[in-house]
Structure formats: structure tokens, C-alpha cells
A and B are shown apart, each in its own frame.
Chain A
Amino acid sequence: MSQPLYHLTEIERRHGPRVVLNLEELSISQGEILGLVGPNGSGKSTLLRLLALIDQPDRGRLLFDSRPTQPASADQRRQVSLLLQEPYLLKRSVFENVAYGLRVRGLKADLAERVGRALDLVGLERASFGPRPWFKLSGGEAQRVALAARLALRPRVLLLDEPTASLDLANAALVKEAALGARRAWGATLVIASHDLPWLHQVSDRVLNLFDGRPMESGHLTFLFGPWTEEKDGLWRMGLPDGQAVRAEGPARPEARAALPSAAVAVSDRPPNGSEGANVLRCLVARLTWERASDQVLIEASLAGLSLAVTLARADFAALDLRPGQEVWLSFKPSVLRWL
């Protein structure tokens, strides 16, 4: 087995006294597409900035290409490029924005051609966009210019922080396509943080769940934010708006947060028998997505505004014959809920 491109061990990153990222171990292989998911503030951007070698961990070791990165050399940093969630364009023309990284590297030969090709990749016409000043761009165009500035460098690693969060569908599609093109064209390693879970699970080789700066088990999680009330036998109950309820094994607090792993939930198209003591929730199927990396089907089931995630192997899913809008029953034991 070849050496991983990134190897992180016992990483901790703090903002003041608060630990915003805490990773025991993470390896990323050359050419891999790693997806990062988690709610806002879960540490995705922090991890991306560490991987971009812009920030340093406060504790732990980050190896890039088996070499230490504390501090990172200019040569190491130049193999990696990060697309920020809200791009910053230099107060220059589009052409000069895309050319900046090339000029920094002293790549002056074929400058116009390299910039032009990068603009092609994000679907911006060279002649009309090249001379345009930075303030005459829409949000989507600015994001595409920022991506072109990174693609022009043909980085070994492309890091994308919510690349489609503020874009309309057409712009989002262009950005997604151009980013994936980097792996096809020169085998770039991609790390993508996104809330677009169906897309992320479809394109990623692996998905890392982060919550409060810590990795969670892989797969999908449904977060239950309480409030919880204590019942007998050490069980805690969270009422749902439609009158149904979830029970979890304590110990807990009224304001505790719990995560429900999607793989621990069983689904059936009729009320289950013999599920003594288990939670049973009646829901409607909202969305079905096939995930390439795991060859599983993600079922998003809706219940009074709450969305619950369930994953099934493709064969098991086929046996159920589910459709969106259909009534289903989810069941899971009180012991599978994890307190955060």
C-alpha cells in the first residue's frame, strides 16, 4: 500500500480556549475524493485550512507527502489550493485574478492560454470576462472566477469549502463539474465540504462526519436536539410535534443532543411486529438517493418537519419497493442513540 498524501495524528486546533477541531487520526490518499459533512461550526472549514497549510494545528502532527508541514514550505503550499466558501477576488480584472497564482510561480510562458483554459473549465467566455473588473461580477461568476484561479494552477490537492452554498442551480452545476474535472484531468485529490449531501455522497470515495470538531462514525446522522424528559427505567423521552416520541437510554440532560446513525434504523412498509421496546415512527418517504461510494440507498423520511436518515444496502432497498410520498415505519432501539 502506498503512503497516504496526508497523514494527520492527534490534531487539535483551538480558537482561544475553545477546541474547534480534534482528530485522532486521518489519512487521505492521492487521488481520493473525501467529503466533509457536519452542521455549521463542526470544524469543516478549520480542517480545510489546516489541509491547505494556511493554519497550523495547535497540537499534533500533519504530514504532507510523508514530510512534516510545521511550518509548511512555500513549495508544499503551492501543491494545494483552497476555494473559500465566500470567494475573495483581488481588485483587478478577471484575467489578472486567474493569472495571479501563475505569476507568483513565475509561470509567464503561455500565461494567456493557461488563464483562458481555466476560464473555459468554469464556463466563462475568455474574451468577454477576461478584461472585466472585479466589481462587475455576480456572486456565481465571482465563485467561478475564484475556482478558475485555482484550476489554472493544476494543484495536486483541491480543497473546496461549500463551493455551491450560495449559488443557483446552473452555477452550482458548473462549479461541481469543473471541480470534478480536476480529478479526471490531472488526478487531483479533492476534499469537499458541502451541505449538498446527495451530491457529496454520490461523488465522494469516503465521507467524514464532523460534529463539534470531532469525527463521528461514517454514514448519515439524524440530530435530535431535545428537550428530553426523564422516564422510568433510565429512559429519556423527546416528544415530536405530531405527538409521536423518541426514547433513548440515559444518562442524559434535558438539553442534551443525540445522534441517530442511519445504519441503526430499520425501515418497513407496514407497522413492524415484535419490535418490543423499540422506537417506531410513522413517516413519509421524502427523498431517495443512491450513494456511489457505499453502494447504499439513502432514504430521507419526513415526520412533522423533522427529516430522518436511513441507509439500506441496494439489494435490501430493491426488496422494499419504496417510492417518495409513501408511508413507512422506522424502528430503532433506544440504545442506538448516541449522546453528544
Chain B
Amino acid sequence: MMGSLGYIFGGFSEAVRLLAAGDPETFSAVWTTVQLSGLSMLASLIVGTPLGFWLGHFDFPGKRPLRTAVDTLLAFPTVVIGLVVYALISRRGPLGDLGLLFTLPGMAMGQAILALPIIVALTATAVESLDQRLRATLLTLGAGPGRLALTTLWEARFAVLAAAVMAYSRVVSEVGISMMVGGNIKWHTRTITTAIALETGKGEFAIGIALGLVLLAFALLVNLALTGLRRRSRP
């Protein structure tokens, strides 16, 4: 029994050694993850916050069904997104000429699709739950339509940031899109999660555990950020 647990503990101490020594293969996966998640978050925020504002601020026919559709997309399985994006950007696909398959931008496209419904849905909820008096206040202080939208989003900034943090935690921990669209190429498209999957398959627990620890550290940072935002967003 102890012997069977021993190799896990052995892997754990080896993992700490790898991290402390700055093992290049481990840190390549970490760096790839940081770059990739940054890119996908940037894309989803640029597209998602205006859409979320629009969905939360205006009343139009068909708004309710649209919100239901967005909420449904929150549970979009990553392998399905991987499949769709792969089909789009593979050689024979409509975007095949762009050569995005097995590249970071291609993977970021998939992850942005994963994050987008989270950003849109939570931004819309944040904008909807803003005080009714905000619009009258901004108008009577002289704001035009553009300024009204920007200030409204700024008023909801803590909630929008919280949405971004939620989306980030989903993006950084997904495997399906990175594996299918990125191909898990060492030094190029291998992320923390795909590396863990591969190393575990090979029986190399040390690197897997080391990367798992890094991912847990990410989760801790995300959690601290959320707690901080909740504290600041009080009325």
C-alpha cells in the first residue's frame, strides 16, 4: 500500500524539483498557456462586452429567446468547439487558406468561442441589474449615446471583470480545443492541460503533477481576484 502511494509522493517531490530548477519543457507549456489564454481572452472581451451591453441595455423583440440561446451556449462542450473550429480551419475547410491549424491563433479562436457566451451572458446580466436611475443621470449630465454605453459598462466594471475571470478559469483549464486544434506539439502548441494529459498517458507523473500545481496556482489567483472584485463591487 505504502509502496503504491510512494510513487505519487515521489512524483510530487520530483515535480517541485522540476519547477524550482526551471525545467524548460515544463515552462514552455506554462508560457504557451499564458500566451494562448491572453489572446483568447482579449478576443472574447473585445467582441463580448459590446454584445453583452447591447443584450442587457436594449429591449427588442426576440431578446428573451436570444438570452436563452446565449445561456445554453454556456454549456458548450469543448470537444464540440474543437471539432467545429478544426473543420473550419483544416486544409479543406472554408478558412483553410489561413493556415491556422496547429497554431496558437487557431487555438485562441476556439477558446474565444468558449469564453464568448460567458462574457456576453454575465455582462448582459450586469448591465441589466444596474440602477434604473443611471440612464436618467447620465442623460441629464449631458452624455450622448457613445458616452452612455461606455459609462454604463464602466459602472458595471466589477461585474464585467468578474465575468472575465470566470471565463479565464474555463479557458485556462480546457483540454479539448487545445488538443484537437493545437495538436499538442512540443515547444509550440503544448499547453499545461494537454501536457498533463500526455505525460499521464506516458506514466510520467512528475511533469504532470508539476503542471497540475501551476494550474492550481492559477486557480488560486483567479479566486483571489474574484473575492477582491466582489469586495470592491459593493454599492
Interface residues of A (CB under 8 A from B): 49, 52, 54, 74, 77-78, 80-82, 84, 86-88, 90-91, 100-101, 104-105, 135, 149-150, 153
Contacts and interface: CB of A to CB of B under 8 A. Distances in A.
Contacts of B151: 90, 100
B132 to A, nearest CB: 9
Closest A-B pairs by Cβ, 10 of them: A88-B133, A101-B141, A78-B142, A82-B140, A88-B137, A104-B142, A54-B139, A81-B140, A101-B142, A74-B144
Most buried by A among B136, B137, B139, B155: B137
Nearest to A74: B144
Contacts of A84: 133, 136-137, 140
B142 A149 contact: no
Most buried by B among A84, A88, A105, A150: A88
Interface in B102-144: 131, 133-134, 136-137, 139-144
B37 to A, nearest CB: 28
B126 to A, nearest CB: 12
B142 A105 contact: yes
Nearest to A88: B133
Nearest to B137: A88
B136 A74 contact: no
Nearest to A55: B136
Contact of B140 (A52, A74, A135): A52
Given A88-B137, A100-B141, 10 more contacts: A74-B142, A78-B142, A80-B140, A84-B136, A87-B133, A88-B133, A91-B157, A104-B142, A105-B142, A149-B141
B231 to A, nearest CB: 11
A150 B155 CA distance: 19
B186 interface: no
Contacts of A74: 142, 144
Given A84-B133, A86-B133, A91 B140 contact: no
B142 A90 contact: no
A153 B137 contact: no
A153 B142 contact: yes
B21 to A, nearest CB: 46
B230 interface: no
19 contacts: A52-B139, A52-B140, A74-B142, A77-B140, A78-B142, A80-B140, A81-B141, A82-B136, A82-B140, A84-B136, A86-B133, A87-B137, A88-B131, A88-B136, A90-B137, A100-B141, A104-B144, A104-B147, A153-B141
B133 A90 contact: no
A78 B141 CA distance: 7
B235 interface: yes
Given A74-B144, A104-B147, A135-B234, A88 B139 contact: no
B151 to A, nearest CB: 7
A191 to B, nearest CB: 13
Contacts of B142: 74, 77-78, 81, 101, 104-105, 153
A235 B133 CA distance: 47
A238 B139 CA distance: 47
Contacts of A149: 141
Most buried by B among A49, A90, A91: A91
Nearest to A86: B133
Contacts of B155: 90-91
Contacts of A82: 136, 140
Nearest to A85: B133
